[in-house]
């Protein structure tokens, strides 16, 4: 009974406080940054190397907390339930764009404001160094002859390997045993031991292993060869039709509550744009095997929309039954 | 060779690195001792904190925190029966009874010396065999991890006290709690009762803090007005004869620790469980019965979990793959500092390996120093009146739980587990098996399903795989042997052979 | 197996029945994942574990047949009285209630204020007065928590 009363009092006090501080410049205290994936993961690494630059620009402290779990649902849900004052940031990856499609949650990035789409990872299909396959075409041929024999490392429904598999299956047929791991790391470890035959991975996760000769790249999921992996053919060589889905890759971004005051949104956008563009961070992205995007405003929105449409429709075409709903019902246009 | 040696001594000769290692070790002891503050968390915070530093300085601080933190968990386990970290759960089984006999000082002293021995042996194994050990660790397929988890489940008989049925119930309950949350394969919610908050599961440290910390606080309310046990503080440093007596055991349990630690799927928590079990099976005449303050029950888990630190660095330094959660974060730190953790790390930045080895050895020496000084002050904690201690423990449980995921929901769960734990304790259930279930349940589920998928969903293929690969055969036979020795089958067999 | 007949504690039987109920609840919840599970489906382990819980709680209940109630306890009502006086002593009940109130209060009045109140109340109650030293102790505890968690570990307490 007291709850509504207390909440309204709190809101009233909060807005009073905000009105009082309208003159003061944002930010005037510590900012909370929530990372929707665990410590040591790609999102975590990107967030932790970008944040010190932002702290310098905004002249404040950003306290980073990892709230992993539920493919990122937990972390995003937390930030959406905080006060919309610009003091709660979400460091997220691509997953929320698929929540509704997979029935994980009823929100997506459209329910937040995008501060910056930091960068995009490249995807490589990797195999153990002693694998009998030298290219993705070899592997595909073998799989056509022996359906359901090859073991692919995956990270579960909605994870990157499954999405890449869905894209392949939308234009061709690749019937494999999908072995689910807790993340890229355990998957790579299993592949190093030869316990799985191949795994689509972000370049950030697999690049060093390929360079060190422990894994080999069968294909990069791009239309052209990339500088970082000179001898690995693009996937379009084996599967020309997949071009309609490209360019595609996992991405990382920073988001705030939709109702954040404009002044805070502008300050954040400006700070993040500058931080992402800084030489040091660009160097980091490059050595990390990622492409810098540094998008905000309409450009960011366009990027998110096109990513969602490509991914959702390829998943739908590959295996409609595994989805909770159709992209059509969610109003996602065809790519 | 001379390079190797100079890299090894880097941290020993540079005053700045020396200071940072010492500082890290000291801070680590407190991080480890406070339930909820974890080494993983401390190291993640250090990443932002040390962003602009030289990488060696950052690594020195992290190594110190890691070594100190793994050890620190035993402090609160011994003094208050509240393990500061999951790897100290078994330390409480014999450590706390020792404190109740007034031997808290001796227990901490012994655990310090043994932790250092374990830590140094782990470092030695890392230095000597890292590439081979890493290759061996890679041989472990999902089915082998599954077998290890099954082997772990058999520890229930060691941990469940008088009633095996209660032990089995507790393990199953723990495993069920561990499975709450989103299914990894299909992303379906499991056992969440429709709650969005539970999609991410309940962190196992929350369960641990509830069952050990809060439940202990409630349980101790019965002794509110009892005068605390006076602690003997004269014999803190264990005599050499005692250390020598436990040396063979500690070498064995250190080996268990370093191997289990080197496997990327398992860490110090599981290592300490196996070590305790090993001690209980192999030591015929412990100083006191296990569970009532046996020194052996303290030596085994403490050597194993500190040896596991060296083990966890094995896959990290040789392959760039994390051996546990802490090394995963350290890999992240290397990435952020512009290094490329991977198989080329040892080729391109050769100093990192020997620098880390030297640093680990150094941190263990600091541990010996910091561990043995100040014990007298620490043991006073047991002598604090319960009227003050119990409310403080509850507050500590609340802060500790909240720091894990900044979630109030988990704090409520913690209190719930505290109340549940109280009643379970009252009616003769042990907490150990529940934690065993929480740790092993998800591992069992995950590895079983990986193994099944690898074999194309065929149970026949799965069972065949268990006996068709050398490593799996070894693990399967160990399980069969343990089962035979635990069940009535053993006495039946013995009786038969005697008769014939 | 020892030949000695074990004693059942007051309330133990009821508790073990509750565990059986809990097992059934878990089974129902596990069944809701995907019905009768296959060999490798999300529900296979949860259902299996629930069955193990069910079986072991039945074994526990069955073992009561071999145990005897404390001869000093006469009848169910007396057992209840013994149970009550053992576990519902005022200082335990107060501690539990104040703890629950404390956790609820954190959300409303911030962590530090509610912790201070909780510690002061419990100290004053358990130490029979001695208000000043109790307040001082609570203040000291808060200060330590503030330095350690907020300053050093940057945990954002509510």
Predicted pLDDT at C120: 92
For residue A16, tell me if it sits in a domain.
no
Specify whether the CB–CB gap between B143 and B451 falls below 8 A: yes
Tens digits of per-residue pLDDT, B182-223?
888 887 888 888 787 787 788 888 999 999 999 999 998 888
**Of the candidate ranges A49-58, B138-147, C72-81, C137-146, the one whose mean pLDDT is the lowest:** C72-81
- Residues A268-294, mean pLDDT to the nearest whole number: 91
SS3 track for chain C: CCCCCCEECCCHHHHHHHHHHHHHHHHHHHHHHHCCCCCCCCCHHHHHHHHHHHHHHHHHHHHHHHCEECCCCCHHHHHHHHHHHHHCCHHHHHHHHHHHHHHHHHHHHCHHHHHHHHHHHHHHHHCCCCHHHHHHHHHHHHHHHHHHHHHHCCCCCC
ipTM score of complex: 0.91
- A219 has pLDDT over 60: yes
Please check whether residues A92 and A236 belong to one and the same domain: no
- B332 has pLDDT over 70: yes
Specify whether the CB–CB gap between B43 and B66 falls below 8 A: yes
The partner residue sitting opposite C119, judged by closest CB among B221, B385, B391, is B391
Neighbours of B40 (CB within 10 A): 24
Predicted pLDDT at C1: 34
Distance from C-alpha of A329 to C-alpha of A316, rounded to nearest angstrom = 12
Band (pLDDT 50/70/90 cuts) for residue A226 is confident
Average pLDDT score, chain C: 86
Q: How many structural domains does chain A have? A: 2
Please check whether residues B241 and B261 belong to one and the same domain: yes
Please check whether residues B152 and B182 belong to one and the same domain: yes
- C7 has pLDDT over 70: no
Q: Any CB–CB contact under 8 A between B340 and chain A?
A: yes
Q: Any CB–CB contact under 8 A between B312 and chain A?
A: no
Of chain C, the percentage scoring pLDDT greater than 70 comes to 94
For residue A332, tell me if it sits in a domain.
no
Interface test with B, best of A69, A100, A205, A281 (most B CBs within 10 A): A69
For residue A127, tell me if it sits in a domain.
yes
Predicted pLDDT at A128: 96
Range of the domain at A160: 123-245
Predicted pLDDT at A20: 43
Predicted pLDDT at B109: 93
Range of the domain at B139: 2-466
Please check whether residues A168 and A215 belong to one and the same domain: yes
Predicted pLDDT at B490: 60
Q: Is C54 or B348 the better-scoring residue by pLDDT?
A: C54
Domain extents for chain C?
A: 7-87, 90-152
Compare all CA atoms of chain B with the CA of A98 and give the residue at the minimum distance: B187
For A53-190, list the strands marked E by DSSP: 62-66, 88-93, 112-121, 123-128, 151-154, 177-180
**Of the candidate ranges A320-324, B89-93, C4-8, the one whose mean pLDDT is the lowest:** C4-8
Please check whether residues B291 and B324 belong to one and the same domain: yes
Residues of A in contact with B186 (CB under 8 A): 156-157
Beta bridge partners of C7: C68
Predicted pLDDT at C58: 94
Predicted pLDDT at A24: 60
For residue A24, tell me if it sits in a domain.
no
Please check whether residues B370 and B482 belong to one and the same domain: no
**Of the candidate ranges A321-330, B11-20, B170-179, B482-491, the one whose mean pLDDT is the lowest:** B482-491
The partner residue sitting opposite A6, judged by closest CB among C108, C154, C156, is C108
Please check whether residues A277 and A128 belong to one and the same domain: no
Tens digits of per-residue pLDDT, A90-112?
999 999 998 888 888 888 999 99
Please tell me which chains touch C, using 3 or more CB pairs under 8 Å as the contact test: A, B
Please check whether residues A227 and A117 belong to one and the same domain: no
CA atoms within 13 A on the CB side of C31: 8
Yes or no, beta carbons of C30 and B188 under 8 Å apart:
no
Please check whether residues A256 and A197 belong to one and the same domain: no
Gap from C81 CA to chain A (nearest CA, Å): 36
Please check whether residues B250 and B349 belong to one and the same domain: yes
- B111 has pLDDT over 50: yes
For residue A329, tell me if it sits in a domain.
no
Predicted pLDDT at B226: 78
- B94 has pLDDT over 60: yes
State the count of interchain CB pairs (< 8 A) between A and C: 7
Please check whether residues A101 and A144 belong to one and the same domain: no
SS3 track for B56-113: HHHHHHHHHHHHHHHHHHHHHHHHHCCCCCHHHHHHHHHHHHHHHCCCHHHHHHHHHH
Q: How many structural domains does chain B have? A: 2
Residues of C in contact with B45 (CB under 8 A): 153-154
Name residues whose C-beta falls within 8 Å of residue B451's C-beta, 6 or more positions apart in sequence.
B141, B142, B143, B146, B462, B465
Question: Crossing angle of helices B15-33/B2-13, nearest 10°?
Answer: 70
Please check whether residues A238 and A199 belong to one and the same domain: yes
Report the sign of the C-alpha dihedral through residues B447, B453, B454, B457, in that order. Answer: positive
The pTM assigned to this predicted structure is 0.88
- Residues B91-117, mean pLDDT to the nearest whole number: 93
- C73 has pLDDT over 90: no
Average pLDDT score, chain A: 86
Please check whether residues B17 and B46 belong to one and the same domain: yes
Residues of C in contact with B403 (CB under 8 A): 149, 153, 155
Q: Any CB–CB contact under 8 A between C154 and chain A?
A: yes
Compare all CA atoms of chain B with the CA of A41 and give the residue at the minimum distance: B332
Yes or no, beta carbons of B325 and A70 under 8 Å apart:
no
Q: Counting runs of H as helices and runs of E as strands, what totals does chain B give? A: 24, 2
For residue A112, tell me if it sits in a domain.
yes
- Residues B97-105, mean pLDDT to the nearest whole number: 90
Predicted pLDDT at A282: 94
Please check whether residues A212 and A152 belong to one and the same domain: yes
Yes or no, beta carbons of B402 and C157 under 8 Å apart:
yes
Please check whether residues A257 and A113 belong to one and the same domain: yes
Tens digits of per-residue pLDDT, B33-77?
888 788 888 888 888 778 788 899 999 999 999 999 999 999 999
Predicted pLDDT at A22: 45
Yes or no, beta carbons of C118 and B395 under 8 Å apart:
yes
Say which CATH number the domain at A240 has.
Answer: 3.40.190.10
Please check whether residues A90 and A192 belong to one and the same domain: no
Yes or no, beta carbons of C156 and A6 under 8 Å apart:
no
Band (pLDDT 50/70/90 cuts) for residue A42 is confident
Predicted pLDDT at A9: 47
Closest-CA residue to C90 (of C131, C118, C123, C125)? C125
Please check whether residues B441 and B482 belong to one and the same domain: no
State the count of interchain CB pairs (< 8 A) between B and C: 147
């Amino acid at each position: 009974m007291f709850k509504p009363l207390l909440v309204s009092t709190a809101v009233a006090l909060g807005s009073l406080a905000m009105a009082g501080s309208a003159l003061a410049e944002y930010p005037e205290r510590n900012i909370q940054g929530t990372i929707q994936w665990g410590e040591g993961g790609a999102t975590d690494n990107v967030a932790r190397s970008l944040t010190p630059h932002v702290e310098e620009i905004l002249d404040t402290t950003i306290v980073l907390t990892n709230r992993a779990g539920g493919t990122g649902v937990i972390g995003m849900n937390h930030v959406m339930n905080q006060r919309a004052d610009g003091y709660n940031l979400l460091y997220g990856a691509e997953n929320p764009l698929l929540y509704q499609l997979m029935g994980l949650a009823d929100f997506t990035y459209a329910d937040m404001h995008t501060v910056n789409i930091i960068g995009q990872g490249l995807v490589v299909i990797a195999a153990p160094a002693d694998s009998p396959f030298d290219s993705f075409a070899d592997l595909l041929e073998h799989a056509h002859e022996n359906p359901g024999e090859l073991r692919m490392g995956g990270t579960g429904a909605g994870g990157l390997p499954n999405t890449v598999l869905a894209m392949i299956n939308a234009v061709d047929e690749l019937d494999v045993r999908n072995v689910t791991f807790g993340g890229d790391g355990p998957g790579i470890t299993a592949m190093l031991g030869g316990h799985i035959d191949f795994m689509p991975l972000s370049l950030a996760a697999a690049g060093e292993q390929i360079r060190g000769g422990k894994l080999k790249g069968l294909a990069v999921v791009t239309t052209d060869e990339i500088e970082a992996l000179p001898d690995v053919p693009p996937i379009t060589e084996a599967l020309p039709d997949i071009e309609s889905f490209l360019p595609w890759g996992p991405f990382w971004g920073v988001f705030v509550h939709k109702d954040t005051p404009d002044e805070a949104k502008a300050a954040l956008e400006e700070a993040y744009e500058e931080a992402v563009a800084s030489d040091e961070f660009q160097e980091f992205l490059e050595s990390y095997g990622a492409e810098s995007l540094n998008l905000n405003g309409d450009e960011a929105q366009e990027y998110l929309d096109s990513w969602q449409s490509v991914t959702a429709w390829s998943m739908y075409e590959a295996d409609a039954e595994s989805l909770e709903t159709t992209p059509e019902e969610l109003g996602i246009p065809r790519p | 060779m001379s390079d190797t040696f100079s890299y090894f001594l880097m941290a020993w000769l540079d005053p700045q690195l020396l200071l940072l290692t010492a500082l890290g070790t000291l801070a680590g002891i407190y991080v480890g001792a406070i339930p909820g503050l974890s080494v993983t968390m401390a190291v993640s915070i250090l990443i932002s904190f040390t962003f602009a530093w030289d990488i060696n300085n950052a690594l020195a601080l992290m190594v110190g925190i890691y070594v100190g933190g793994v050890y620190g968990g035993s402090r609160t386990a011994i003094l208050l029966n509240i393990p500061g970290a999951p790897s100290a759960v078994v330390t409480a089984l014999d450590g706390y009874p020792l404190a109740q006999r007034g031997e808290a000082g001796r227990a901490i002293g012994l655990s310090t010396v043994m932790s250092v021995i374990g830590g140094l042996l782990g470092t030695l194994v890392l230095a000597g065999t890292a590439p081979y050990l890493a290759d061996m660790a890679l041989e472990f397929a999902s089915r082998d991890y599954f077998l290890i988890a099954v082997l772990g489940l058999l520890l229930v008989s060691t941990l469940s006290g008088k009633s095996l049925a209660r032990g089995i119930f507790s393990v199953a309950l723990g495993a069920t709690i561990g499975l709450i949350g989103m299914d990894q394969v299909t992303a379906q919610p499991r056992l969440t009762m429709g709650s969005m908050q539970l999609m991410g599961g309940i962190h196992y440290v929350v369960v641990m803090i509830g069952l050990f910390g809060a439940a202990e606080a409630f349980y101790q309310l019965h002794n509110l007005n009892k005068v605390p046990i006076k602690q003997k503080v004269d014999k803190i440093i264990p005599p050499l004869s005692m250390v020598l007596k436990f040396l063979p055991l500690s070498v064995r349990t250190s080996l268990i620790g370093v191997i289990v630690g080197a496997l990327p799927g398992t860490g110090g928590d599981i290592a300490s469980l196996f070590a305790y079990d090993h001690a209980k099976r192999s030591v015929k005449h412990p100083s006191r019965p296990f569970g009532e303050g046996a020194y052996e029950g303290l030596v085994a888990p403490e050597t194993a979990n500190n040896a596991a630190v060296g083990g966890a660095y094995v896959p990290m330094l040789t392959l760039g793959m994390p051996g546990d959660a802490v090394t995963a974060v350290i890999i992240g730190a290397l990435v952020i500092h512009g290094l490329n953790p991977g198989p080329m790390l040892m080729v391109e930045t050769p100093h990192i390996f020997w620098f880390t080895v030297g640093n680990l050895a150094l941190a263990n020496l600091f541990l010996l120093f910091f561990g043995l000084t100040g014990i007298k002050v620490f043991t006073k904690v047991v002598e604090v009146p319960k009227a003050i201690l119990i409310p403080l423990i509850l507050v500590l449980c609340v802060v500790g739980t909240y720091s894990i995921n900044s979630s109030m929901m988990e704090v409520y769960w913690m209190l719930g587990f505290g109340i549940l734990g109280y009643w379970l304790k009252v009616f003769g259930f042990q907490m150990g098996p529940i934690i065993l279930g929480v740790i092993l349940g998800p591992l069992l589920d995950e590895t079983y399903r990986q193994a099944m998928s690898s074999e194309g969903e065929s149970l026949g293929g799965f069972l065949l795989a268990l006996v068709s690969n050398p490593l799996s055969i070894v693990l399967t036979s160990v399980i069969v042997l343990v089962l035979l020795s635990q069940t009535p089958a053993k006495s039946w067999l013995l009786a038969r052979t005697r008769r014939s | 197996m020892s030949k000695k007949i074990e004693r059942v504690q007051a309330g133990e039987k009821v508790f073990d029945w509750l565990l059986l109920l809990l097992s059934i609840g878990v089974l129902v919840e596990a069944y809701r994942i995907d019905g009768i599970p296959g060999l490798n489906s999300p529900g296979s382990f949860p259902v299996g574990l629930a069955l193990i819980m069910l079986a072991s709680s039945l074994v526990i209940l069955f073992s009561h047949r071999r145990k005897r109630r404390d001869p000093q306890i006469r009848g169910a009502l007396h057992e209840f009285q013994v149970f009550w006086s053992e576990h519902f002593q005022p200082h335990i009940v107060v501690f539990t209630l104040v703890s629950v109130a404390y956790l609820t209060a954190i959300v409303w009045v911030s962590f530090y204020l509610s912790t201070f109140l909780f510690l002061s109340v419990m100290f004053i109650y358990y130490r029979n007065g001695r208000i000043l030293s109790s307040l001082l102790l609570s203040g000291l505890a808060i200060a330590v928590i503030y330095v350690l968690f907020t300053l050093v570990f940057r945990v954002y307490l509510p």
